[in-house]
Structure 1
Amino acid sequence: MSVESSNGKAELKKDYNPFEHRVVEKPISDIRATANIIKSSLGSGLLAGPLAFSNAGWAIGLFGTMLVGLICGHCIHILVKTSRQCCVIDNKPSLNYAETCKSAFNNGPKPLRKLANVASIIAEFSLVFTYLGVCCIYTVLISDSVKQLVDKFAPTMILPVEYYGLIFLIPLCILCQIRYLKFLAILAVLANILLFAVYLVCLYYIFGSKLTIEDKQVAGNPARYPAFLSTVIFAMEGIGVVMPVENSMKKPQHFLGFPSVLMAAMTVIVFLYSTLGLFGYLRYGDVLEGSITLNLPTDEWPAICAKVCIALSIFFTYPLQFFVVIDIFNRYTLPRIKSNYKQITQVSARTCGVIFCVGIGIALPMLEQIINIVGALFYSILGLMIPAVIETVFQWENLGKFKWRFWKNLLIFAFGLTCLISGCTVTIMDIIKKFQEKTE
């Protein structure tokens, strides 16, 4: 395996194959890797698809979904490819997300090498806040789904949605004690099956009556496009799980290429999101909740099963998203803790992390707005801007004819920055509007 580094030294470690030196305690198969990638992206974001299409219009929504899917898949590709090239140069079997950022800068142009630690810190902070936000969203979605069912079938014990977050606190704490991706992959497969069942039930209700396109917008209000982009980016991105999954595979060489784990996962993600978003919008129009399951009737068994399935699917996905946070915590703390205290530290850290996420979810139970802010702010940085920067820095001496890599990554960075600024602005305005409506 050979690679040319950003400073043109192709001879560096050219015979080193990182795949041959990886020691994984519990490696995962291609199928489990695909399941983990799909599940890390699809969840509450998929079910928010129809609402996203209502912000953009059906034609702009369909085109935008495919475009964002292509960009997100490409950014994952260049991140993993850069990471592997850094492994060869640094003579290391694997690198995580932050280590890849640091290595890319260390092997980039000399004036930028002093920024290597800064790049690593930015990546770590972005990962932590992104996946803490995702866990908060999952808490809200589980609570909303269960509350709808209880309110319908047990009207004498109607409780605020915040109480349901507290009820699920202990089960989530227990589930998040699972420590290996191999076992989390089992939950991911189960969650994917449940989510696909919800998808089919939603299509059942969508096609249960005639769809009309005449009164639907082909292109929505451009002022709402940032909200659309934020939701789609949130749904498409699972980039924080990518490196742990690729580093844990039995055959990591199958992650990229054609066909590959990445291609299979992104194809499924784009197909499910675009179809549910398009047909959900054509069926329900602009009268949509943050999740399409909240629009389903509460007195019919297929809809009831869908609400149960989505709650269980998100519940089983929770520890996969939480894995990213606790993995970062472990890297910085476990080496400094005595062996006889490591077990209690693990249990305590995982429990406190879940309590924090549930607490934030209870304090801010606005599903649509939280999805948009996480998608606009954190996933724009992690999934779009950082991969574009590190490939450019690493390949600085090999940007291609007419420096096409530079211009391509500049467009991706500009797209991510636009999504970040506009998405956050629109979402903050929506939050202020909601608070004003509550006080009036």
Structure 2
Amino acid sequence: MKHNKITIFSTIPDGYSAFQSREQIINLQSKSHLDLDSEDDGQHQVSHPTSYAETLLHLFRGNIGSGLLAMGDAFKNGGIVFAPVMTALLGVICVHAQHLLLNCSEDLYVKSKRDQLPGFAETVSLVFEYGPARLRPLAPIMKVLVNTFLCITQLGFCCVYIVFIATNIKMICDEYGIHIELSIHMIFVVIPILLLCMVRNLKYLTPFSTIANLLMALGVGAVLYEAVQDLPSVQSRELVGNWQQLPLYFGTAIYAFEGIGLVLPLKNEMKNREQFQKPLGVLNVGMVFVASIFIVVGFFGYLKWGEDVAGSLTLNLQRGNALSTTVQVLLTVAILLTYPLQFYVPVAITWPTVRTKCGDRFMVAKELGYRALLVMLTFILAESIPQLGLFISLVGAISSTALALIFPPTIQLVSTYQNKKTIPAYLIAKNSLIILLGIFIFITGTYESVASIIRAF
């Protein structure tokens, strides 16, 4: 066991181990004190298993991010009455889907006699591999699909972060009479991001995660304090959004709830894993809290600022105010420090394949060049779609719906049929409704987000 030494890309051969690195990354984002084994098999051993309270805290950290600050914009598109009810319902559906994924992973953990629960992509792949004979050839394709959506999601987060950071910096500069185009701010922002993403060893970045979480908590608290001051009446806001706006609401809400990739590694790290899925276990209790925060922030954000609510509530804070400037600085630094950790996910998934085609010479230089190319890709996309709220809705509609609402019920149906040679009617009905909801959000959310982006230009 080699403690406190993680050099991800020198230890990932391909396939499953690459995805395992993603789980290590998620764990490192949620707790910087983990000691992981980085042997060539890609597995990790837990030196310091987490308690119920610690895992609960890590669940909060993993689910509360930039999506929370976009909930005011989501509620504007959904309506002051429809959005809270639907957000609570979406929360229940997303948590149910997470339970489905966990149950399938636990079943495969027993069947395959592994040392730990298989990850998201590996679970989906193994369900098809152990499933009906006609579906087994789909196993590699399903694994690639999940990893593709994971990459799209994480790179989408990175694009949103660039827009978020640049937009907040522009507002701060405008207050002091420094008027520069948003696109120029993005160029300045990408420079420190590039430097941070050149760090290949996660050990040197994980302490920033704790700092980022603290800054985020302080910033969100201050935003909520500002939002509850001098509120207008509920009747002054739209009760239900129109049909054109509702897909944007769903995209943003699903973006905010997209924490399904976190549940398997968190359960793996618990001292008593059975406490994770109990009725009053970590997942249910934690997600009730998370959904409540989303509803409170979204409700008061829209109630306070109405149709003027921005893609991030920080952009609605009173200008020239010391509190608002401090909040914007705190959240900007928090997101800047979070970018390189989110960025490790797509690199960990894609670099092993790219590395096999690059030859063995100058491998470090090639990896740094590949990282720089990915950062510039997120920069170009951010420059192309500078509308923060629409960008968040687009990312949520394209990838978050597939991960959160389509894959989990699908693999439960496949697994149930293989185990019982039949699928109960109620299970078909329930899972079909969830899958259809995911497809509906995917199609309508993507279409309306793209159409809104085109109209914005």
TM-score bracket for this pair, using the shorter chain length:
0.7 to 0.9
User: Given that residues 72 and 310 in structure 2 are in contact (C-alpha distance below 8 angstroms), is that contact kept between their aligned partners in structure 1?
Assistant: no
Secondary structure of 1:395's counterpart equals helix
User: Given that residues 231 and 303 in structure 2 are in contact (C-alpha distance below 8 angstroms), is that contact kept between their aligned partners in structure 1?
Assistant: no
Give 1:269's match in structure 2, choosing from 277, 290, 293: 290
What's the counterpart of residue 18 of structure 2?
none
Displacement after TM superposition at 1:359 (Å)? 2.6
Q: What TM-score comes out, normalization by structure 1 length?
A: 0.85
Task: Check 1:78–1:430 CA distance in 2 against 1; reply closer, same or farther (3 A cut).
Answer: same
Q: What TM-score comes out, normalization by structure 2 length?
A: 0.82
User: Given that residues 230 and 376 in structure 1 are in contact (C-alpha distance below 8 angstroms), is that contact kept between their aligned partners in structure 2?
Assistant: yes
User: Given that residues 195 and 309 in structure 1 are in contact (C-alpha distance below 8 angstroms), is that contact kept between their aligned partners in structure 2?
Assistant: yes
User: Given that residues 39 and 191 in structure 1 are in contact (C-alpha distance below 8 angstroms), is that contact kept between their aligned partners in structure 2?
Assistant: no
Give 1:49's match in structure 2, choosing from 71, 85, 95: 71
Give 2:382's match in structure 1, choosing from 357, 361, 364: 361
Secondary structure of 2:148's counterpart equals helix
Task: Check 1:232–1:111 CA distance in 2 against 1; reply closer, same or farther (3 A cut).
Answer: same
What code does the residue aligned with 2:70 have? A
Task: Check 1:185–1:414 CA distance in 2 against 1; reply closer, same or farther (3 A cut).
Answer: farther
User: Given that residues 57 and 220 in structure 1 are in contact (C-alpha distance below 8 angstroms), is that contact kept between their aligned partners in structure 2?
Assistant: yes
Q: Distance in 2 between matches of 1:381 and 1:294?
A: 30
User: Given that residues 376 and 421 in structure 1 are in contact (C-alpha distance below 8 angstroms), is that contact kept between their aligned partners in structure 2?
Assistant: yes
What's the counterpart of residue 158 of structure 1?
179
What's the counterpart of residue 104 of structure 1?
127
What code does the residue aligned with 1:87 have? Y
What's the counterpart of residue 130 of structure 1?
153
Give 1:427's match in structure 2, choosing from 449, 453, 456: 449
Q: Distance in 2 between matches of 1:116 and 1:104?
A: 8
What's the counterpart of residue 343 of structure 2?
322
Q: Distance in 1 between matches of 2:438 and 2:249?
A: 14
Q: Which is worse superposed, 352-361 or 225-234?
A: 352-361
Equivalent residue pairs, number: 413
Displacement after TM superposition at 1:366 (Å)? 1.6
Residue 114 of structure 1 pairs with residue 137 of structure 2: yes
1:255-285 per-residue CA deviation (whole Å, 9 max, x = no partner) reads 4334444234323321211001011111111
Secondary structure of 2:44's counterpart equals coil
Residue 214 of structure 1 pairs with residue 260 of structure 2: no
What's the counterpart of residue 327 of structure 2?
306
1:188-213 per-residue CA deviation (whole Å, 9 max, x = no partner) reads 44333222222222222222213311
Residues 181-330 of structure 1 correspond to what in structure 2 (within 5 A)?
186-247=207-268, 252-330=273-351
Q: Which runs of 5+ in 1 are unaligned?
A: 1-20, 436-440
Residues 367-386 of structure 1 correspond to what in structure 2 (within 5 A)?
367-386=388-407
RMSD: 2.8
1:166-207 per-residue CA deviation (whole Å, 9 max, x = no partner) reads 222232234335667787664444333222222222222222
Residue 89 of structure 1 pairs with residue 143 of structure 2: no
What's the counterpart of residue 12 of structure 2?
none
Secondary structure of 1:126's counterpart equals helix
Q: Distance in 2 between matches of 1:206 and 1:125?
A: 38
Q: Which is worse superposed, 181-190 or 192-201?
A: 181-190
1:111-167 per-residue CA deviation (whole Å, 9 max, x = no partner) reads 1112111111111211111211111011100110111101212x2x42221222222
User: Given that residues 376 and 424 in structure 1 are in contact (C-alpha distance below 8 angstroms), is that contact kept between their aligned partners in structure 2?
Assistant: yes
What code does the residue aligned with 2:304 have? R
Secondary structure of 1:214's counterpart equals helix
Displacement after TM superposition at 1:74 (Å)? 1.6
1:215-239 per-residue CA deviation (whole Å, 9 max, x = no partner) reads 1222222332111111100011123
What code does the residue aligned with 2:158 have? C
Q: Distance in 2 between matches of 1:391 and 1:341?
A: 45
Q: Distance in 1 between matches of 2:317 and 2:401?
A: 31
